[in-house]
Amino acid sequence: GLIEAAGIDEIICATMLPKLMMIPANIDLIGFEIEMVPVKQREKKLKNLLEQVKEKFDYIIIDCPPALSLLTLNAFTASDSVLIPLQSEFYALEGLGQLLDTIKRVKSSFNPGLKIKGILLTMYDKRTNLSQHVVQDAEKYFKDMVFKTKIPRNVKLGEAPSYGLPVILYDKHSAGSKSYMAFARELLTRRSHVKR
């Protein structure tokens, strides 16, 4: 399991991109929460592991599952900032309130420096009223926290993982690729939101 991992350096893997490394999820994550029950300061396990390697990287991006769990808590505790993807769908805004509350609790209990980088609208379809309503509500309630770039529903975004490729390498001319590149540019110029 994760507790017995000899060192984080041993599980970092190279990718086809020369400056991109990753730690892939594996079957050991299934038992992570049970394994962590008796561990003191279990919410800091990931932070402690990343401390060993953080100087080697410009950015460390942690992709969390959508559920609020001990894994997510570990990610928030280990992070400088949080980027919140928000699907342009009916129930998405309801879950966002709960997530923001969790972030606020993590700030007060474990990671006072945690900031919200912003909210990224995904699975956006400008042809549907539903997507338009989600965008309007998100911008109304969260104002400048919402990135201007929206990631559209796009076939290539769905196909790329089945070929083991990021969409930018699978089809750099697709609407999905272009949107993620625009988002990357916007993200690099944005200051984090400290308020919430």
Across 123-128, average pLDDT = 94
Q: Is residue 161 part of a domain?
A: yes
DSSP string, the chain: --TT-S-GGGG-EE-SSTT-EE----GGGGGHHHHHTT-TTGGGHHHHHHHTTGGG-S-------SS-SHHHHHHHHH-SEEEEEEESSTTHHHHHHHHHHHHHHHHHHT-TT-EEEEEEEEEE-TTSHHHHHHHHHHHHHHGGGEEEEEEEP-HHHHHGGGGT--HHHH-TTSHHHHHHHHHHHHHHHPPPB---
Least confidently predicted of 28-32, 170-174, 188-192: 28-32
State yes or no: pLDDT of 3 exceeds 60: no
Q: Is residue 124 part of a domain?
A: yes
Q: How many CB atoms lie within 10 A of CB 120?
A: 20
Confidence of residue 4 (pLDDT cuts 50, 70, 90): low
Interval 13-48: pLDDT, tens: 898 888 999 988 777 777 777 777 777 888 898 899
Confidence of residue 1 (pLDDT cuts 50, 70, 90): low
Longest dimension (CA), the chain: 51
- Please give the tally of structural domains in the chain: 3
Look-up of token digits 């992709």: 63
Q: Is residue 74 part of a domain?
A: no
Q: Is residue 75 part of a domain?
A: no
Across 96-106, average pLDDT = 91
CA dist., res. 182 & res. 167, Å (int): 13
Of all residues in the chain, what percent carry a pLDDT higher than 90? 62
Give residue 165's domain range: 154-195
Domain co-membership, 1 together with 60: yes
Domain co-membership, 112 together with 52: no
Q: Is residue 181 part of a domain?
A: yes
Least confidently predicted of 77-86, 92-101, 162-171: 92-101
pLDDT computed for residue 193 by the predictor: 59
Q: Is residue 70 part of a domain?
A: no
Q: Is residue 149 part of a domain?
A: no
> Do you know the residue count of the chain?
196
Confidence of residue 97 (pLDDT cuts 50, 70, 90): confident
Residue 111, classed as helix, strand or coil, is coil
**Residue 151 vs residue 11, higher pLDDT:** 151
Domain co-membership, 36 together with 55: yes
DSSP state of 12: -
Tokens representing 84 are 């919140």
